[in-house]
Amino acid sequence: MTDTSDPDGESAGPDAGDADGDTKAGSGEPVVDAAEVEHVAELARVRLAEEETETFADQFAEILEYFEALDEVPDLDREEELVNVMRADEVEAGLAQEEALANAAETEDGFFKGPKVS
Amino acid sequence: MSTRTASEERAVVIGLEVHVQLETDTKVFCGCSTEPADDEEPNTRTCPTCLGLPGALPVLNEAAVEAAVKIGKALDADIPETTTFHRKNYYYPDLPKNFQLTQYDAPICADGELEVSVDGERRTIGITRAHLEEDPGSIQHAGGSIESATHTLVNYNRAGTPLMEVVTEPDFRSPAETRAFLAKLEEVLEYLGVFDATRDGSLRVDANVSLVDADEVTEDGSVPEAVLADANRAEVKNISSHKGAEKALAYEITRQRNVLRRGREIEQETRHWDEGRGVTVSMRSKEAEKDYRYFREADLPALEVSDWKDRIPIPELPDARRERFRTEYGLDDEAASKLTSTKEVADFFEDVAGEYDPELAATWVADNLLGELNYREMEITDVTDRLDEFTRLVELVDAGELTVKNAEEVVLREMLDEGEDPESVIEREGLGKAESDEVETAVEAAIEENPDAVADYHDGDEGAINFLVGQVMQATGGSADPGQVNGLLRERLDG
């Protein structure tokens, strides 16, 4: 565990590098590197093969580039933000157990059933 | 970090994160009931919002915000002008949305404090912040322990229950202080009517524990931030009671001392309190990375409720009430503390004290009633609707119609055990004070049958009168009033 977590623990290095990359977005340097993709995949509990990591790094960079289009959007007058939107503390009818479980891939005794987690 | 020798003295530094469930009728972001489901049937208290179904939108429960503001007032905290909600992203089946709705950089309460008393010493514990969030669902590791489970069963009935997370400064210097704090916090929250301690899982505590050089502790008991930052700490999770907190922390401190004694370093890690085994266990999970990627919840507009602080009243809090009981009713510290232990007890006492001598009311509520309830593992709330019966009992004693002994040892006990009213217990047990005829007859008989005692009394032996009183009490089955008997005897003997 220490072996695999050490690079992450020391991530001040690579992370700082990423942060630089982010600020220089559009300047041609890689916005998302393989380490970042692996980190996100791990948080999402998705296992990626090495070549997938490279593919996703490229794709992430492309996707992020699309957002640059937002820089072109002119300033607009916008609606004032809402505040204090609340509901009264009154019980509303919800879903019956069968309805709640209707889309579940697997169930057991009224529970959603999933793989083991730790 | 300098190398330390085992002989150096170390001071304990503890900070708490306390999660309390707020007592509202519905969940914090949807209208699902927070009542426990019938037969604990799983997944019967859900809707598209708390199941995280696509397109469902959260709408904040006003009652949860009111509760949070009350807590803020009670903790003497600031309610900021604007407070917002964030998504805390992590991937675990207890969260159907893969994020928890919580607050991040603009919590609803900041910078408060709570005073506790430990072994007679007053300590003020700083409250860094308190924020609103949703409770996750509950999961069972099925087919074995958390390690050996084969699958997971998930119940979202609890998901979305409003929680307040109260984060303290690292101000605790012993496990006993954390226990006193948690008891005090619960007491305050119950006084506010926003919390039910009897509810399963209503209090959950995480504790950060580290050891620092005792020399680094400043005179006012605080520890410089740089020292704290330098000390590796363990976060102990899964504590669910005051007692559990004291035990878990005592264990963890001993464990850390032992690690240091062996010349090793404390690992910065998350540990799980195993209540059954009484140990903390390293969780060794990747979650330690703690990359929650917080971002603003766009579906929940900001709150501007700082003025609610003036609008929402809170009841008199336990410390203030204790002080008032001392001054207004002339109670001693012990009685005042007992009688303010819960809001219900305090209300009950004030109702009785309003009608009778406060001192008598204090004795009856603090000593007799609470003692008998405690013995039966009953709560004051089990008898609050019988206040009338209880005041009648006090009235009967006050009027001299029932002896204290019979009231305490027979009537009160039967009232609690059998649910009877005091009059029917008295009737059934024949405990009404003896008719005066009967007492007079018994007095005459005692004098007649005990010439030796009478002679002793005339010779100046005061003890003899007690013997004669005892005889009369016995003859009347304890229903006579000992003071009256004493008077009658003297009248006869001296006359």
The interface pTM score, or ipTM, of the predicted complex is 0.77
**In a shared domain, residues B418 and B440:** no
Report residue B297: phi and psi, to 5°. -80, 110
Q: Could you report the per-residue pLDDT of A54-77, keeping only the tens digit for each? A: 999 999 989 988 988 888 888 888
d(CA A106, CA B141): 15
Contact criterion met (CB below 8 Å) for A26 and A62: no
**In a shared domain, residues B218 and B258:** yes
Mean pLDDT, rounded, for B98-118: 95
**Is residue B4 domain-resident?**
no
Last residue of a domain, one of B310, B327, B344: B310
Contact B65/A at CB under 8 A: yes
**In a shared domain, residues B15 and B34:** yes
**In a shared domain, residues B281 and B421:** no
- Of B61, B151, B288, which is closest to A87 when you measure between CB atoms? B61
Last residue of a domain, one of B310, B338, B362: B310
Last residue of a domain, one of B310, B340, B375: B310
**In a shared domain, residues B183 and B285:** yes
Residue B290, phi-psi category: left (phi > 0), alpha (psi -120 to 50), beta (remainder): left
Q: What is the pLDDT of residue B433?
A: 66
**Is residue B5 domain-resident?**
no
Mean pLDDT, rounded, for A26-32: 61
Buried b (16+ CB within 10 A) or exposed e, B282-302: ebeeeeeeeebeeeebeebbb
- Of A85, A91, A109, which is closest to B25 when you measure between CB atoms? A91
B42 and A97 within 8 Å at the Cβ level: the answer is yes
Q: Could you report the per-residue pLDDT of B478-490, keeping only the tens digit for each? A: 778 888 888 888 8
Largest CA distance in chain A: 56
**In a shared domain, residues B87 and B189:** yes
Contact criterion met (CB below 8 Å) for B322 and B336: yes
**In a shared domain, residues B210 and B356:** no
Regarding predicted confidence, which is higher, B154 or B392?
B154
**In a shared domain, residues B108 and B211:** yes
Q: Could you report the per-residue pLDDT of B283-323, keeping only the tens digit for each? A: 865 554 568 999 999 999 999 999 999 999 999 999 999 99
Q: What is the extent of the structural domain holding B357? A: 318-429
Q: Could you report the per-residue pLDDT of B49-97, keeping only the tens digit for each? A: 999 999 999 999 999 999 999 999 999 999 999 999 999 998 889 999 9
From chain A, the residues in CB contact with B82 under 8 A are: 83
- Of B26, B91, B304, which is closest to A91 when you measure between CB atoms? B26
Q: Tell me the three state secondary structure of residue B420.
A: coil
d(CA B260, CA B223): 20
The CA distance from B259 to the nearest CA of chain A, in Å, is 19
CATH of the domain at B440: 1.10.10.410
Q: Could you report the per-residue pLDDT of B397-441, keeping only the tens digit for each? A: 887 788 888 888 888 999 999 888 888 888 888 777 656 667 888
Neighbours of B347 (CB within 10 A): 14
d(CA A118, CA A114): 12
Contact B145/A at CB under 8 A: no
**Is residue B338 domain-resident?**
yes
Q: Could you report the per-residue pLDDT of B267-276, keeping only the tens digit for each? A: 888 999 999 9
Regarding predicted confidence, which is higher, A24 or A96?
A96
How is residue B59 written in tokens? Answer: 């709408």
**Is residue B3 domain-resident?**
no
Kindly give the interhelix angle for B318-329 and B175-192, rounded to the nearest 10 degrees.
Answer: 80
**In a shared domain, residues B342 and B461:** no
Q: Tell me the three state secondary structure of residue B446.
A: helix
**In a shared domain, residues B306 and B322:** no
**In a shared domain, residues B305 and B404:** no
Reference B172, options B20, B12, B9, B10; nearest CA is B12
From chain B, the residues in CB contact with A101 under 8 A are: 43
Number of domains in chain B: 3
Residue of chain B with shortest Cα separation from A44: B91
Over chain B, what is the mean pLDDT? Answer: 89
**In a shared domain, residues B445 and B390:** no
